[in-house]
Structure 1
Amino acid sequence: MTRLQHRSVVLMFPGTGAQHARMAAGLYGHEPVFTDAVDAVLAELGAEGGAVRADWLADAPAEPMDADTRSAPLLFAVDYAMGRLVESWGVRPAAYLGHSMGEFAAAVLAGVFRLEDAVRLLWERVRMQRTTPAGGMLAVAAAERELSGYLGDGVVVGAVNAPRHTVLSGPEAPLRAVAEKLVADGRTFRRLASRTPYHSPALAPLVRDTEALIGTMRLAPPRTPLYSAYTARLLSAAEAVRPAFWAVQPTAPVLFWPTLDRVLKDDDRLLVEAGPSQSLTVPARGHEAVRSGRSAVVPALPPRALGPEADRRSVRAARELLLAVAAPLAPEGAPAGSAGPPAR
């Protein structure tokens, strides 16, 4: 454990595709900080927030988890609440790293967006997405350079998650054609749980109105360093307050692997995935810095829905490990396990 004390903590937040039924539901009503943070997000949605919560906690939800009206607010809420929970243990992250929607949650925790503005923007994007063609995303076990023959007709590389984990995104009919070609070519892939072609030009018509909306909000430079998976480097103060930077994200590819590489080259890290599915933990474990032992990765939640006790066991294990190294990370004068300042 001594070696862990020399690693700086980076909180990682997963994005679209990581959501699943009852993700982190075992913490709701059991972990007060988590519960309050989820409630704070859903309260911003008014009456719709109650319906979102009911579907999240239900064994048979009225709306499926891959519907944008459920996946977007719940994934954001769980990411944000898990970040608040981890920080309530007295852990002071050296930096944040988010994937897609996860970068948005990280930006709230870093103080770039106020929570109420972030939820408003998120919900407006959900509303606007209803005017765009249906589509989706395919996670392919191949390097980006191997997939050039599958691109076109609106299908693009939506994310680079690992050296051999590339996400293709696009409208429904062209994406189905790509899936058929992948099958014919013997490629391994799976469809992600989304009905929207995130990180593709299909969402370009939303950029102008989104930028105008963000322009009405009060943005601030990050209080804690924030790595952007759209630039593969630390977010600058100028970028953080520029509405266009955030408005184009749904149309731009997520460069998670190059960004993770930058994070792990900057320091020895203890990566903590504060979100569902372990979708960032799995590729991070394959990075040379983690395989060599210079850095480490800890998931705070199980890889899938395994019941309430599994959620609680995962959180307890993450808490025990982090509290063992929390003393040098806690704010000066604050005991390990005390809550830090609330996110703006």
Structure 2
Amino acid sequence: MELRRRVLLLPGQGAQRERMAAGLYGAHGEFTASMDAFFDQQGEQGPLLRTHWLRTAPNPAMDDAAVAQPLLLGVGHALGRAVSGPGGGPGLLLGHSVGELAAACLAGVFDAADVGALASARARVLTDEGHGGMLAVAGTPQELSADLGPGVAVAALNGPRQTVLAGPAAALAETAERLRARGRVVRALRSGHAFHSPLMESTALRFGEALVALGPRAPRSGVTVVSTRTGVPVTVRQARDPHFWGGQLATPVRYWPALRHLLDTWGRRPGLLLLDGSADGSLGAPARHHPAVREGASEVVPLLARGRDCGGPQDERVFAEALTRLAESGGQAAVS
């Protein structure tokens, strides 16, 4: 019997939650070891990041990209290690925004020992440039285009009718008001920067320059990173280019096109097992609109508890159920 291919979905800015995946810390050996190594790599900032991560809601620090982005990277990488067994981890990786860097580390583009350096570099380049905000809006870019204020741009395509806008705070607030007046559902994301918009271009350039020292490589054999910058698999040339990874800070996240490419290409039987690493279920939700999932050929499997259970003991239960589902589908699971 042909086995389902496994896909790991990793979240980015806006999907961070207090204590995301913290219920696995101390309960799952590989996850715990990976997080401890990550905090050690952060030097003096490590204990503070750990404190921010383990603090219960409300925690305004999680709105700060200099806190949220390193934690998203560290947690995403640790989840990837935790779902990998002796036979290796998922062969298909898809990360949203900073989640793409976690995917690159899991694919061998960057060394596991470089996760901390990546996180530090990402936080270091986040200066006062690019300050603003982000909005999640129900609608397509074409439907929203006439209402965008000065400097407001499409920052992400998250689903068939799920668009994220980014831009300067004042212009974004005016845009939100116009969209709500037209009956649009608008939600502010937890971000103080206008990520994935032209406001981040100089930041993206500095980040790419910082990645030169890490010497990115081609993904190791048998692993494919589907890029949310291009919507298709990363090429060898792109993988080796530091500015390909750095430049994603200023370009739209094409998450839905990338996810649709996966499902169009491999979603039919035997299909895909989509491991949703988000603490809010946002990564797997758009997949349910695709015929491959609706008809049962592919399946979305959450890795973490959500809502009130996020970061608590239920994380361990949900993750254990995911590992069982992996084993049933022929995948290898790490030993807790």
Could you state the TM-score of these two structures normalised by the residue count of structure 2?
0.92
Amino acid at match of 2:148: L
Bigger mean CA deviation after superposition, 174-183 or 115-124: 115-124
Q: CA deviation at 1:86?
A: 0.6
- Which residue identity lines up with residue 133 of structure 2 in the other structure? G
Q: Which residue, out of 191, 197, 200, partners 2:194?
A: 197
Instruction: List per-residue Cα deviations over 1:140-190 (Å, max 9, x = no partner).
Output: 111121011123421100001111101011111111111111122111011
Change (3 A) 1:155 1:258: same
Matching of residues 321-332 of structure 1 within 5 Å: 321-326=325-330, 329-330=331-332
Aligned residue for 2:300, secondary structure, equals strand
Contact 2:85–2:334 at 8 Å: present in 1 too?
Answer: yes
On the 8 A contact 1:21/1:305 being kept in 2, the answer is no
Q: Confirm or deny that 1:253 pairs with 2:252.
A: yes
C-alpha distance in 2 between matches for 1:281 and 1:323: 20
CA distance, structure 1, for counterparts of residue 299 and residue 261 of structure 2: 15
* Corresponding position: 1:53 with 2:88: no
Q: Does 1:318 align with 2:317?
A: no
* Counterpart residue number, 2:232: 233
**2:92 alignment partner AA:** A
| Equivalent position amino acid for 1:7 in 2 | R
For residue 281 of structure 1, report the CA deviation from its aligned partner: 1.0
Deviation digits for residues 41-64 of structure 1, max 9, x if unmatched? 121111111011012112368762
1:266 is matched with 265
Give the match for residue 94 of structure 1: 91
Spell out the pairing of 1:97-176 with structure 2 (5 A cutoff).
97-176=94-173
1:212 paired to 2:209: yes
Equivalent position amino acid for 1:141 in 2: A
Q: Specify whether residues 150 and 114 from structure 1 end up closer, same or farther in structure 2 by C-alpha distance, changes over 3 A only.
A: farther
Query: 2:69–2:122: 8 Å Cα contact kept in structure 1?
Result: no
Q: Sequence identity of aligned pairs in percent?
A: 40
Partner of 1:333: none
Separation of aligned partners in 2, 1:74 and 1:90: 27
- Where does the alignment leave 5 or more consecutive residues of structure 2 unmatched? none
2:140 and 2:160 in contact (8 A); partners too: yes
The letter of the residue matching 1:234 is: P
Preserved contact between residue 154 and residue 252 of structure 2 (Cα < 8 Å): yes
Deviates more, 1:61-70 or 1:279-288: 61-70
Superposition RMSD in Å: 2.0
Cα deviation, residue 271, structure 1: 0.8
Q: Deviations over 1:245-265 (max 9, x none)?
A: 112100000111111111112
Q: Given that residues 22 and 56 in structure 1 are in contact (C-alpha distance below 8 angstroms), is that contact kept between their aligned partners in structure 2? A: yes
Contact kept, 8 Å, 1:55 with 1:63, in 2: the verdict is no
TM-score (normalizing by structure 1): 0.90
* Matched-pair contact (CA < 8 Å) for 1:18–1:276: yes
Which residue in the other structure is 1:299 paired with?
302
Residues 10-25 of structure 1 mapped to structure 2, 5 A cutoff: 10-25=7-22
Q: CA contact under 8 A between 2:96 and 2:255: conserved in structure 1?
A: yes
Which of 275, 278, 288 is residue 291 of structure 2 equivalent to? 288
1:279 aligned partner, one-letter code: S
* Alpha-carbon distance change, 15 to 104 in structure 1, aligned in 2, over 3 angstroms: same
> Aligned-pair distance for 1:26?
1.1
Q: Indicate how the Cα distance of structure 1 residues 165 and 104 shifts in structure 2: closer, same or farther if over 3 A, else same.
A: same
Alpha-carbon contact 1:89-1:323 (below 8 Å) kept: no
> Kindly tell me: are residues 288 and 60 of structure 1, through their superposed partners in 2, closer, same or farther at Cα, counting changes over 3 Å?
closer
Q: Conserved in 2, the CA contact under 8 Å of 1:156 and 1:169?
A: yes
* Deviation of 1:311 (Å): 0.8
Match of 2:175 in 1: 178
Q: Which amino acid aligns with 1:14?
A: P
- Count matched residues: 329
- Cα distance in structure 1, aligned partners of 2:154 and 2:254: 10
Equivalent pair of 1:89/1:319 in contact (CA under 8 Å): no
* SS in structure 2 of the partner of residue 88 of structure 1: coil
Structure 1 pair 50/93, CA: closer, same or farther in 2 (3 Å)?
A: same
What is the DSSP-based 3-state SS (H/G/I as helix, E as strand, rest coil) of the residue aligned with 1:96? strand
The 1:139–1:215 alpha-carbon spacing in structure 2 relative to 1, beyond 3 Å, is same
Q: Which moved more, 1:218-227 or 1:298-307?
A: 298-307
Aligned mates of 1:133, 1:217 — CA distance in 2: 25
Give unmatched runs, 5+ long, in structure 1: 331-335, 340-344
CA contact (8 A) 2:159 2:286 kept: yes
d(CA) in 1 for partners of 2:44, 2:76: 22
Cα 1:59–1:95, aligned 2, differ >3 Å: closer, same or farther? closer
